[in-house]
Amino acid sequence: MSTIESILKESRIFPPSTNFVQQANVSGLEAYQSLCNQAETDYQAFWAEQAKAHIHWHKPFTQTLDDSNPPFFKWFNDGELNISYNCLDRHLAHQPDKVAIIFESDEGEVIHATFRDLHQRVCKLANALKAKGLKKGDCVVIYMPMRIEAVVAMQACARIGAIHSVVFGGFSSKSLHERIINAGAKAIITADEQVRGGKHHALKATVDEAINKGGTETVKTVIVYQRSGSTKVPFEPPRDVWWHEITQKASSECEPEWVTAEHPLFTLYTSGSTGKPKGVQHSSAGYLLGTMISMQWVFDYKPSDIFWCTADVGWITGHSYVAYGPLAVGATQVIFEGVPTFPHAGRFWEIIDKHQVTTFYTAPTAIRSLIKLGADLPEKYNLSSLRLLGSVGEPINPEAWMWFYEKVGHSRCPIVDTWWQTETGSHMIAPIPGAVSLIPGSCTLPLPGIVAAVVDETGQDVENGKGGFLVIKKPFPSQIRTLWNDPERFKKAYFPEDIGKGKYYLAGDSAYRDEQGYFWIMGRTDDVLNVSGHRLGTMEIESALVANPLVAEAAVIGKPHDIKGEAIVAFVVLKGDYPQGDDKTRITTELRNWVAQEIGPIAKPEEIRFGENLPKTRSGKIMRRLLRALAKGEEITQDISTLENPAIMDQLKQTN
Ligand code: PRX
């Protein structure tokens, strides 16, 4: 992990190669600085120009930024557009037969879909949705495997102005239930099952479980895509309909619903510091603009590229750099249904070789696990098509960066380490590869028009070399608009009064700038963990644990992990006696499975420790700092005599 210590030791610097600079969309540092200067000189003119250059407007906007009611900013508000038109129709005139998606299934089957194919599929589903009574502003939950159909489902919603809310296929029925209710979903689009790494997981049955938990009367339609047809799925007509049946007769032309720039495109739930996930709401135009300019600037997109982002559409990365950004710029992209290690640990490298991928965007967790499984494996494949690599989701440690650079990119391909979040919609701090020199472990400099800074608890800039809160000082087009059904929480969580007087967007990360102004992300400042690049709230996991009848109290913390970045450790007090021997093993397994059921397998604690109590101050506050030290196996040097129950520390030290 990027500790200040490891950062200070990092002195390797990789300037862009002459070859790369010559062909780059933003070529040379001066070009980058000139864009930054334009943004600084006239912020609104800069963004207006970008919005005009990149987006197809049905009705042009006349007002760029409406900041009359901060932090509820509006961008390009009186303009009208359709996102699906921007991603599909506008490419039909000049490249209908260009392959938009090269899909590879878990089993290795390959399907090519051109822009024309994709357009037809989207129109058919959009018409079918309309026939089911869905209309602009309705919310549709999407719970799908990572296949072309997931993108079709999202685009079809965008085409009719429905607001989608994608739920990652690994989330449990309980998490799905919460999201269906919070969104007030009118329809759900799902599949019979998903297949990853040779394993089949039921999706439709999980949807039924979620619906049957009650309070889901808003859901009138469930559309089921038949992924494998290998199991008989529960089916309840007329609510449940098969995707292939309703789209078969539907027309392959569907007039897009023109919406205003601020019309919500989607909500996506993410974890915060309370037990309740937050429905991050994004706009249409501002969001699309962010994804498009970052495709051009950061991914240096060229029409000849084969772009591959390995993220699932259940996360923001899969929204911005699978479902929207690549299509909007007219790119050919790879979509892969499976996992990096099935049927062998060279699968990623094989796919790059087979499909001649030029731009490869993945997470440090994947890189670290692939190093472990076969550091020399990339040598067996021809990776010479690659020209750019990218990293996202968590800090990339310099060792993993160097391996990625040398073994995968053959010291030829720049690595763009992109810092951003569900809430920012698109890249914020990332190297523009033909302009900015790289330093392993640093996400380098903010994109033009993004006013990022590191400040103290009063909102004052800290000097370079000192850690502080990462903020963005000015509104930007792709930012979160509000939290679905919870504007107050939105204001409090992201625009706090103490830091920046309610004017700065507070990212929730701590960061540090080095002498040359490069940003280094240190980790979250709130109770959010980053496990294998997935965001999880400690409170969510604690609530899941205490919902188990055996559990009286629980505290969850993260500890550093070589592959996952962070691993979940739970300290648990049972209602019954302190468990011993076999009982302890049995209860540990039961609680881990319980969390998987309550939230999803990604939230399973790596380790559970039991105690008769937790270390608390005399006012009853759990001392998480001590728990963190215990989990890391560090010696406790601080005075614990003021604890209400100092003796408990010895018991909690025991790992088995
Ligand atoms: O802590 C930062 C980390 O991931 C968080 C955002 O998580 P999420 O909303 O799930 O979006 C992940 C994909 C954009 C951030 O607050 N993070 C993301 N990218 C990086 C990162 N930390 C360090 N370096 C990055 N490149």
Q: What is the pLDDT of residues 185-233, one digit of tens each?
A: 999 999 999 999 999 999 999 999 999 999 999 999 999 999 998 778 9
Residue 461 in domain: no
Residue 585 in domain: yes
Q: In this predicted model, what pLDDT tens digit does every residue of 537-584 receive, in sequence order?
A: 999 999 999 999 999 999 999 999 999 999 999 999 999 999 999 999
Q: Per mean pLDDT, which range of 107-121, 140-154, 318-332, 621-635 is the poorest?
A: 621-635
Please tell me what DSSP assigns to residue 526: S
Binding-site annotation, residues for Mg(2+): 546, 551
Q: In this predicted model, what pLDDT tens digit does every residue of 101-138 receive, in sequence order?
A: 999 999 999 999 999 999 999 999 999 999 999 999 99
pLDDT higher than 90, residue 8: no
| The total number of structural domains that make up the chain | 1
The closest residue, in CA terms, to atom 24 on ligand 1 is 395
Which has the closest alpha carbon to 466: 477, 457, 455?
Answer: 455
Residue 589 in domain: yes
Run of H or E residues at 14? none
pLDDT confidence of residue 7: 54
pLDDT confidence of residue 362: 98
**527 alpha carbon to ligand 1 midpoint, in Å?**
14
Find the residues whose C-beta lies inside 6 A of ligand 1: 270, 316-317, 392-395, 417-422, 443, 507-509, 521, 524, 530, 535
Residue 538 in domain: yes
The closest residue, in CA terms, to atom 7 on ligand 1 is 421
Find where tokens 């549709």 sit: 140
ipTM > 0.95 (yes/no): yes
pLDDT confidence of residue 2: 45
Q: In this predicted model, what pLDDT tens digit does every residue of 473-505 receive, in sequence order?
A: 999 999 999 999 999 999 999 999 999 899 999
pLDDT confidence of residue 6: 52
Find where tokens 């210590």 sit: 5
Residues contacting 279, CB < 8 A, separation 6+: 165, 179, 182, 183, 267, 268, 269, 483, 484, 485, 486
Binding-site annotation, residues: 196-199, 317, 393-395, 417-422, 509, 524, 532, 535, 546, 551
> Span 423-447, mean pLDDT?
98
Q: Which of 166, 271, 394 to mutate to test the pocket of ligand 1 (most atoms within 8 A of CB)?
A: 394
- CA dist., res. 374 & res. 128, Å (int): 46
Q: Compute the mean pLDDT over every residue in the chain, rounded to the nearest whole number.
A: 95
Residue type present at position 524: R
Residues 287, 426 contacting (CB under 8 angstroms): yes
Residues contacting 655, CB < 8 A, separation 6+: 607, 609
Q: What percent of the chain has pLDDT over 70?
A: 98
**CATH of residue 612:** 3.30.300.30
> Span 175-184, mean pLDDT?
96
Of residues 288 and 526, the one with the higher pLDDT is 288
- CA dist., res. 432 & res. 445, Å (int): 8
Residues 412, 17 contacting (CB under 8 angstroms): yes
Q: In this predicted model, what pLDDT tens digit does every residue of 292-301 receive, in sequence order?
A: 999 999 999 9
Residues 336, 351 contacting (CB under 8 angstroms): yes
Residue 478 in domain: no
The closest residue, in CA terms, to atom 22 on ligand 1 is 394
pLDDT higher than 90, residue 277: no
- Where does the pLDDT of residue 595 fall: very low under 50, low under 70, confident under 90, or very high at 90 and above? very high
Q: How does 562-600 read in b/e, with b if 16+ C-beta sit within 10 Å?
A: ebbbbbbbbbbbbeeeebeeeebeebbeebbebbbbbbb
pLDDT confidence of residue 257: 98
Residues contacting 84, CB < 8 A, separation 6+: 122, 126, 155, 156, 158, 159, 256
Q: In this predicted model, what pLDDT tens digit does every residue of 30-70 receive, in sequence order?
A: 999 999 999 999 999 999 999 999 999 999 999 999 999 99
Range(s) of the domain holding residue 563: 532-653
